[in-house]
Amino acid sequence: MKNFNSFVMAVALGGLSILSSCNDNDLGNSGNNGSGKPFEVPQSVLNAFNSEFPGAENVSWTSKEGYAVASFYYSEASGNKSFRSADSNANTNAWFLLSSSSLEMTDTDIPFSLIPQAVLDGFNSTVYSNAPWKHDDEVDLLKRKGNETLYIIEVEKKENNIETEIDLYFTEDGILVKEVVDAEKDNDHFELLPETPAASIVEWINNNYEGARIIDIENEDNGTEVEFIYNGKHYEAVFNMSGAWLYTKVELSKRDIPSIETVVMDSLRMHPAYTTDDAIDDIERYESSKAGKFYKFELETRLDDVDVYLNLNGELLDGRPSLGDDESFNSVGEEIAKFISTRYPGAVITEKDYDNGYLEIEIMHEGIEKKVLFNGKNEWVKTVWEISVKQLPEQVKVALENRGYQLNRIDEVEVVETNDSIVYMIEVETSSDDVVVVIDSNGNILNEYKD
C-alpha cells in the first residue's frame, strides 16, 4: 500500500570496510529486497547511524525498497540499560532513507512495565486489559520522523480452543488508533514508515486542524489518506489525486453522545436495530465536500452489527453517501481483489473499512450486499450477508420446524460463510423469549441461545 517517491540506490558487489563502532556487521542481503546481491551500506548512512546510536552492538544491515535497515542491540533504547529483549542480540531496528541518509523510523522492543502512564491508562480502559485477554511482556515502540510515536501492545486469548491475537496501536497520550487481528509475525512495520503529502494537503491540515499530530499518511495512486490526532480524537482526512479535500471523519465514543445533536439521537433511538446506548459500538462523524455532514452509528444486535447513517437533521440515509472516493479509495490490493473476483465472480467493491481489527470489504454480489472480512495477514476470515426465510435451504426449514420453531416468526436470517462451512444464524420469536438458532446447511443445529 505504501507508494514511496524515493528511488532504490544501486547495490554493489563485494565487501566493504565499515566504521569500528559497527561491530559484527552482516552486510549480505537477507532477501528483503529480493535481489540476492550483497548490499553495500553507503558511508553517509553509516555516518548517520554512528551519530544516532553510539555504542550500538551486534549491528547487521539489510535493504528494503529504498531503505537501509540496521538491526542491533542498543543499551539506551529502552531507557533501562539492564533490559534485554527476548532476542538478546538485538532490540532495535532503524530505517535510513538511502536517497538522503536520514533516519526515518526506529522500532524498539521495550518491556511492558516501561510504557508511559498515559499509554497504560489507555490500555486499561479497553476490554483487552481483562481476562481472557493477556498482554505480551514486550511492546514495540515506533518513533517516526515527523509522525506520531506509537506503542504497539500485543494481546492474545484462547477460547473454545481458538487462539486470537490482536496488535493494539496507542499514541503517547494513550489513544487507541488501530487494531489488527492476527497480524504477520515479526512485522517490520514497513507500512508505517513516514511519507510526505503534497504541500497543499499540509497547508489544509494546518489551516483546519492547527497542531494536528500525524499518525499515518498513505499516498495511493488516486489520492491521499491522512490519519491524525486533534484535540484528543482520531481523525482521517481523504484527498483526491489533485490534492482536493473529499472528506474528514472523526471517531467518537459513548462519552461524546451528550454532544451529539438531540434530533440525531432521537432518530437513532427510534431505529429498529437500536436497543440501548450501551449497544452503540462505534460512532463516526463525517464532514464532506460532496455530501455535507452526517453520522455513522454501529449498533450491536443479536446476530451482527448494523450500520446506521443519519444526517444532522436526524434523517435516515440509505447507506453511506457517495463522498467522491468511490473509485479512488476502494482499492484493496492485488491479493484481496483476486480472492474476491475468484470467490465472488462479478462482485463490485462498494466500501472498504476497518472494524474490530479486521479489514472489512463490502461488496455487491448477485444483487446481495455482503461483508467480506480479512485478518492482518490478508487471510479471508468469513463473509456475512442477510437472506429471507424463503431463501433458507429446505433441510434447514425442516430442522427448525421439527425443533418446534415457527417459520413465520423468524425475524432475521444471516448467512456466515467460512472456508469450510456455511452456517445460518436465525433469530426466532417464541412465546417466552427471542432465540438465536445456529444451524448448518445440512440442518444440524449447532447452538441455541436466548437473547
Question: What's the confidence (pLDDT) of residue 183?
Answer: 83
Among 170, 260, 153, 179, smallest CA distance to 215 is for 170
Distant-in-sequence, close-in-space partners of 330: CB < 8 Å, separation ≥ 6? 349, 350, 351, 352
Question: What's the confidence (pLDDT) of residue 451?
Answer: 67
The residue to which cell 551519530 is assigned: 51
The alpha-helical segments, DSSP class H, found in 38-128 are: 43-52, 117-124
Question: Tens digit of pLDDT for each residue in 363-385?
Answer: 999 999 999 999 998 899 999 99
The CATH code belonging to domain 199-317 is 3.10.450.360
What is the DSSP code string of 387-413? E-GGGS-HHHHHHHHHTT--GGGEEEE
Q: How far apart are CA 217 and CA 202, in angstroms?
A: 11
Which conformational region is residue 32 in: left (phi greater than 0), alpha (psi within -120 to 50 degrees), or beta?
alpha
Q: How far apart are CA 268 and CA 264, in angstroms?
A: 6
3-state secondary structure of 265: helix
Question: What's the confidence (pLDDT) of residue 221?
Answer: 66
Q: Reading across the β-sheet that carries 102-111, which strands appear in turn?
A: 57-64, 67-73, 92-97, 102-111, 134-144, 147-159, 162-171, 176-181
Question: Tens digit of pLDDT for each residue in 60-113?
Answer: 999 999 999 999 998 766 554 434 544 467 789 999 999 999 999 999 999 999
Question: pLDDT in tens for each of the 451 residues of the chain?
Answer: 333 333 222 222 233 333 323 333 333 333 344 443 457 999 999 999 999 999 899 999 999 999 999 999 987 665 544 345 444 677 899 999 999 999 999 999 999 999 999 999 999 999 999 999 999 999 999 999 989 999 999 999 998 788 899 999 999 999 999 999 988 777 889 989 998 888 999 999 999 999 999 999 988 767 889 999 999 999 999 998 888 999 999 999 999 999 999 999 999 999 999 999 999 999 999 999 999 999 999 998 877 788 999 999 999 999 888 887 654 455 677 889 899 999 999 998 888 888 888 999 989 999 999 999 999 988 999 999 999 999 999 999 999 999 999 999 998 899 999 998 999 999 999 888 889 999 999 999 999 988 6
Q: Which CATH class is domain 43-192?
A: alpha beta
Whether residue 196 contacts residue 214, with contact meaning beta carbons closer than 8 Å, is answered with no
Phi, psi of 155 (to 5 degrees): -125, 155
pTM of the entire structure? 0.78
Q: Which CATH class is domain 388-450?
A: alpha beta
